[in-house]
Amino acid sequence: ELCPKTSPLLKGTITINLSGLTINETESTKKMSLYWLSVPLYRRPSDCKCRNKTAIIVPFRDREQHLSYFLYYLHRLLHRQQLCYVIFVVDQNDDKPFNRGRLSNVGFKYASNLSNFDCYIIHDVDMIAEDDRIMYTCNRQVVHYTFLLSKFNYNLVYHGYAGGGIGYTKEQFEKTNGFPNEYYGWGGEDDDINIRINEKGFGIYRSPEPFYRFTMIRHGRDSGNPPYVGRMERLGKARQRIDVDGLNSLVITNLKEVKHKTYTRIYITRSRSCEPLREV
């Protein structure tokens, strides 16, 4: 039978401890064996039929310690929510400036080719939910989850902020043409997707519940993710570029998939735009 609309496993506030955990421990400990993936690819509740199937897509490079924390806490949260889910870590395996938008598009394309998920959540690896009632599901508006961050004293940074963790249905992602591919380095792509979402008439939903709070892991600026100096000029043309720069202008070469016990990692070693993405 279907799982309850409100999971009886929810506990509320999560205590976040950011010390002493390694990526190997998230794969090997007995506590984590509950979350090991099997056939089919995604985790599912053991005692009921899930109401929602969610794909978590993590744009990634050189953050192994953060990934260990992220997996450790997120698996527990998703299990308590009685979701069917899978976590895709999309790893930019080169020395070019980090391109979060392109990695997000790759992750969506890969996940949607694999299965028909109800929700596709693009999620930064350094943000951890502080409450398991933060539902990792989608609705008629694009959902912004990570709008109250510890780094900013749990205040919304600005109204147009759409960074961190944001959830789309397949229709929403495709109609907004996903993320822009042409922001290299830090900054700009999250403001661009805010424009896309509103221009296409979906709007952004932020829960009014006070427990939608996230711990942001503190870290210095990555050498491979410098501020993108051309972001303001590109943002000025964001509306004109919605239908030409994004999911429909994506091509990926040298893609490699590695399935781990608790997530799937997709390595990207070269990418460019202007051609369709090959099927994976």
Domains of the chain (ranges; CATH) run 54-219+226-273 (3.90.550.10)
221 counts as catalytic: yes
Distance CA 45, CA 48 (A): 6
Distance CA 52, CA 44 (A): 10
Residue 22, pLDDT > 60, answer: yes
Segment 106-117 mean pLDDT: 94
Residue 128, pLDDT > 80, answer: yes
Distance CA 174, CA 117 (A): 13
Task: Identify residue 161 by its one-letter amino acid code.
Answer: Y
Other beta carbons within 10 Å of 213: 18
233 counts as catalytic: no
**Considering 47, 95, 159, 221, which one is annotated as catalytic?**
221
pLDDT tens across 139-166, in order?
999 999 999 999 999 999 988 899 999 9
135 counts as catalytic: no
pLDDT at position 164? 94
Segment 241-248 mean pLDDT: 92
Segment 246-254 mean pLDDT: 85
pLDDT at position 33? 52
- Give 218's pLDDT tier (boundaries 50, 70, 90): confident
Tokens of 140: 């008629």
Going by their DSSP bridges, the two strands 119-123 and 165-168 should be labelled as: antiparallel
**Considering 130, 189, 192, 245, which one is annotated as catalytic?**
189
Residue 39, pLDDT > 60, answer: no
CB 127 within 8 A of CB 216: yes
118 counts as catalytic: no
pLDDT tens across 53-95, in order?
999 999 999 899 999 999 999 999 999 999 999 999 999 988 8
Distance CA 159, CA 144 (A): 12
DSSP state of 247: G
**Considering 126, 182, 191, 192, which one is annotated as catalytic?**
126
> When comparing pLDDT for 132 and 38, which is higher?
132
Segment 255-279 mean pLDDT: 70
**Considering 27, 44, 62, 216, which one is annotated as catalytic?**
216
**Considering 130, 182, 190, 192, which one is annotated as catalytic?**
190
Q: Is the peptide bond before 40 cis (omega within 30 degrees of 0)?
A: yes
174 counts as catalytic: no
216 counts as catalytic: yes
**Considering 140, 219, 239, 278, which one is annotated as catalytic?**
219
pLDDT at position 29? 52
Distance CA 190, CA 48 (A): 36
**In Å, how far are 111, 147, 224 from 77, measured between CA atoms?**
21, 18, 31
pLDDT at position 219? 63
> When comparing pLDDT for 52 and 275, which is higher?
52
Task: Give 43-80 as a 3 state SS string.
Answer: ECCCCCECCCEEEEEEEECCCHHHHHHHHHHHHHHHHH
**Considering 91, 124, 130, 192, which one is annotated as catalytic?**
124
Distance CA 122, CA 225 (A): 18
When mean pLDDT is compared across 23-27, 121-125, 151-155, the lowest value belongs to 23-27
Residue 234, pLDDT > 80, answer: no
**Considering 118, 186, 206, 222, which one is annotated as catalytic?**
186
- Give 96's pLDDT tier (boundaries 50, 70, 90): confident
pLDDT tens across 161-217, in order?
999 999 999 999 999 999 999 888 766 788 999 999 999 999 999 999 999 999 999
In this prediction the pTM is 0.88
Distance CA 64, CA 226 (A): 19
Residues of the chain by 3-state class (helix, strand, coil), percent to 5: 25, 25, 50
Question: What percentage of the chain has pLDDT greater than the value 70?
Answer: 81
Q: What is the mean pLDDT of the chain?
A: 86
